[in-house]
Amino acid sequence: MNVRTELEHELRGPLSTLDLLSDQEAADLLMLFRGARQRETDALSESIDMVVGSLPRPLRGPAKRIMFGDRRH
C-alpha cells in the first residue's frame, strides 16, 4: 500500500482534497493521524482504568464485563 492509500484507509474513504497534498504532506498527515488516534486510545484506556479502579475491588471485574464484554481496552 502506498501512503495515499493508507491515509484513505485511515480516514475511511477517499477524499478529493487528498489530491492537493504532496506525497510528503500525505505521509506527515498519516503519521499525525495515527499518533492522535493512539493518544486518544491511550487516554480513553487510562480513563476507564481510573473509573473502574475507583470501584470496590469485588465490583471491578463485573463492571468491566458489563461495559465491554470480553473485549480488551
pLDDT tens-digit series, residues 1-44: 799 999 999 999 888 998 999 999 999 999 999 999 999 999 99
H/E stretch holding 70: none
Q: How do residues 42-71 score in pLDDT, each as one tens digit? A: 999 899 889 999 999 999 889 888 888 876
pLDDT on residue 68? 82
Non-local CB neighbours of 52 within 8 Å, separated by 6+ positions: 60, 63, 64
d(CA 5, CA 9) in angstroms, rounded, equals 6
Task: Let me know the angle formed at the C-alpha of 39 by 21 and 72, rounded to the nearest 5 degrees.
Answer: 125
- What pTM value is reported for the model? 0.69
Q: 39 and 13 in contact (C-beta within 8 Å)?
A: no
pLDDT on residue 69? 80
Residue 72 has pLDDT above 70, yes or no: no
